[in-house]
């Protein structure tokens, strides 16, 4: 697991989720997670959210008690419960894996 971080993005090498810095017109700004966009976060919280995502996305850690404790800690750091984090990330996976309609076939048939 490795996170890549710049002034504007935090990305992962094992998950497609990301954190992004959103500047405000009045100066300053906040961080937002792709899987939890309604939350306004600090950079440290965004990093916790990405560590949480990587921890929950690593199938090798499913039965690891220490990983579960780490995930719960990072969920608390961003102000949510572990169950909500698991649900949101699971729903994002389902959305990504959902078959997309073949728009080419429709255009040819019309």
pLDDT at position 34 = 97
pLDDT at position 54 = 94
* Locus of tokens 């990305």: 11
Q: What is the pLDDT of residues 72-106, one digit of tens each?
A: 999 999 999 999 999 999 999 888 887 777 666 55
3-state helix, strand and coil shares in percent for the chain, rounded to the nearest 5 = 50, 20, 30
Query: How high is the mean pLDDT of the chain?
Result: 89
Residue 90 CA: distances (Å) to CA of 37, 43, 94, 97: 15, 24, 6, 11
Residue 47: pLDDT band (50, 70, 90) is very high
Contact 32, 39 (CB under 8 A): yes
Look up the pTM and report it: 0.83
Q: 30: helix, coil or strand?
A: strand
């Amino acid at each position: 697991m490795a996170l890549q971080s710049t002034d504007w993005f935090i990305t992962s090498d094992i998950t497609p989720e990301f954190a992004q810095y959103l500047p405000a017109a009045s100066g300053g700004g906040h961080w937002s997670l792709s899987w939890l966009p309604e939350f306004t976060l600090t950079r440290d919280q965004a990093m916790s959210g990405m560590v949480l995502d990587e921890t929950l996305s690593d199938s090798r850690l499913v039965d690891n008690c220490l990983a579960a404790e780490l995930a719960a800690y990072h969920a608390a750091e961003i102000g949510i419960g572990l169950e909500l984090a698991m649900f949101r990330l699971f729903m994002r996976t389902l959305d990504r894996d959902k078959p997309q309609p073949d728009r080419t076939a429709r255009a040819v048939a019309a």
